[in-house]
Amino acid sequence: MRGVCWEASGPIERRHLAPLRDLGADWIAQTPFGWAPSLDAPEIRFGPEAGMWGETDAGLAQTAAWGRELGIKTLLKPHLWVRRGEWSGDIEMRSEEAWTRWFASYEAFIVHYAELAEARGFEALAIGTELGKTTRRTADWRRLIARIRAVYHGSLTYCANWNDEPERIAFWDDLDFIGIQAYYPLSTEPAPSRERILEAWGPIAGRLEVLAGRTRKRVVFTEIGYKSCGGALIEPWSWTADGAANDTLQRDAFAAMFETLWGRAWFGGTFVWKWHPSPAALARHGRDFTPQGKPALSVIRSYYAAPR
């Protein structure tokens, strides 16, 4: 998979996907949202026409259709947004009754998108993203996966957080590939050398190879990205971009990741966070995650556009 995480802003037109052909991308990840009022609330709200155009059912389907015309497949990757921006990985119910209600609500949410993915021919579906305290409940997730399989016949994954979640998930055998949100801390320095970044990837790659061997599933980075500013590799998941602009650090971080992992038999590819479809949106993200208009883009292209 040679993918990008698509920014669902609008208006979006077919021409906005054309630059992905030059990049060599063959997948996009699209992200509709459900909303939770708190970390321990068992209700999830969602709506097929809620949010920006690109997050609506119609927008998701149209974007996927435009991509398909260009030879680009779609991973539909629903997320949960918790009120006040709290992390979905901390969602945890306070009683068994609340857990039952949460899984019933989540099932309604994810089955809606499974049905959309089936009807519109999306090639892959993420059944969840960064829900680490819920994925300890293996039996509940196995039941949910069976329900999804009944209505959707494409590839399934779950997008685990980079920490300990991938190793402890017990239901990978019910899915088609392992998804990881790959925001691994790579340095405590604001501007480490490329050599130091390569050293940091060594033990990470070792753990992933063991995981892939144990589960007999390929590993895909369903998100990976780095801000183009100093300190970006200390907490790569953080949206804070207060450090001095540093396009070289972003370039070296991508280069080290690709050099370490690309071409390994157990590694299934990457979805780069984040791709903005229009220059107006891109202009707001000078030190942010996007590689567009920065030296990192040439590194990504060198791997994505290379002969397979």
Task: Please determine, for residue 9, whether its predicted confidence score (pLDDT) is greater than 90.
Answer: no
Whole-model pTM: value is: 0.96
DSSP label at residue 40 = T
Write the CATH number for 281.
3.20.20.80
Rounded CA gap, 200 and 197, in Å? 5
Please check whether residue 212 is in contact with residue 161, taking contact to mean a CB–CB distance below 8 angstroms. Answer: no
Rounded CA gap, 240 and 237, in Å? 9
Domains in the chain: how many in total? 1
Convert 136-182 into a string of H (helix), E (strand) and C (coil): CCHHHHHHHHHHHHHHCCCEEEEEEECCCHHHHCCCHHHCCEEEEEC
Summarize pLDDT for 11-66 with one digit per residue, the tens.
788 899 999 999 999 999 999 999 999 999 999 999 877 678 888 999 999 999 99
> How large is the average pLDDT for residues 299-304?
98
- Phi-psi label, residue 64: left if phi above 0, alpha if psi -120 to 50, beta otherwise: alpha
- The pair of structure tokens assigned to 288 is 């942010």
Structural domain including 106 reads: 2-304
Percent of the chain with pLDDT over 70: 96
Summarize pLDDT for 153-189 with one digit per residue, the tens.
999 999 999 999 999 999 999 999 999 999 999 999 9
Confidence of residue 8 (pLDDT cuts 50, 70, 90): confident
